[in-house]
Amino acid sequence: MNFLAHIYLSGDNDLLKIGNFMADSIRGHSYDVYPEEIQKGILLHRSIDSFTDMHPTFRQSKHRLHEKYGHYSGVIMDIFYDHFLAKNWNTYSDEKLEDFADNFYHLLKDNYDVLTEKVKSMIPYMFARNWLVSYASIDGLQMIMFHMDHRTKNRVNMHESIVELLENYIEFENEFTLFFDELRQHCANKLKELNV
């Protein structure tokens, strides 16, 4: 799952959201320097990633992209699944996506000092292009893919995967829906385990 899903799956705990959001830039046990709730967000993020990578439905989705995009098929699929979450946002939240995104951007600004340098360097682009809302449209998704290509030095031209998305749109969306219900339950259980 990509940024939107990780933030959403953190529930209403602000520090948990921050930890979950920036976990990819924190290696090994170096997370133990952060406040406890941020640590729990990092652990939740890792649990989400493990669950996703091993899930047969996600693997089925990813398999359609593997021949052309190799290792990056998982990265692309994470973004596609965030697209379906954003597109169907009203199914999963009573809060408007635009408000959810604005609130999270303010949360990052208010907690700027605790963010990793990698996240600090990324958020100006995130804010300027409103990534969390952009996931909902194909044009927004393409913009995000172009940015990902830039970050990966155009190794596999991820923006071209929009073709595969449109060709298999119904299958991808159905797989996302099945998978995300199970992931939400997994996260609910993990949050209980973390005493959140």
| Residue 14 DSSP class | H
Return d(Cα 69, Cα 137) in angstroms, integer.
22
The pTM for the full model equals 0.94
Q: Judge contact between 57 and 178, C-beta under 8 A.
A: yes
Token pair of 159 as six digits: 């923006």
Task: With a cut of 90, say whether residue 93 has pLDDT above it.
Answer: yes
Query: CA 92 → CA 2, 33, 168, 181, distances in Å?
Result: 16, 33, 23, 10
Q: Judge contact between 33 and 57, C-beta under 8 A.
A: no
Q: Judge contact between 131 and 100, C-beta under 8 A.
A: no
Return d(Cα 122, Cα 124) in angstroms, integer.
6
For residue range 1-42, list pLDDT tens digits in order. Answer: 789 999 999 999 999 999 999 998 888 888 888 999 999 999
Return d(Cα 28, Cα 32) in angstroms, integer.
9
Q: Judge contact between 101 and 130, C-beta under 8 A.
A: yes
For residue range 31-69, list pLDDT tens digits in order. Answer: 888 999 999 999 999 999 999 999 999 999 999 999 999
Query: What single-letter amino acid sits at 11?
Result: G
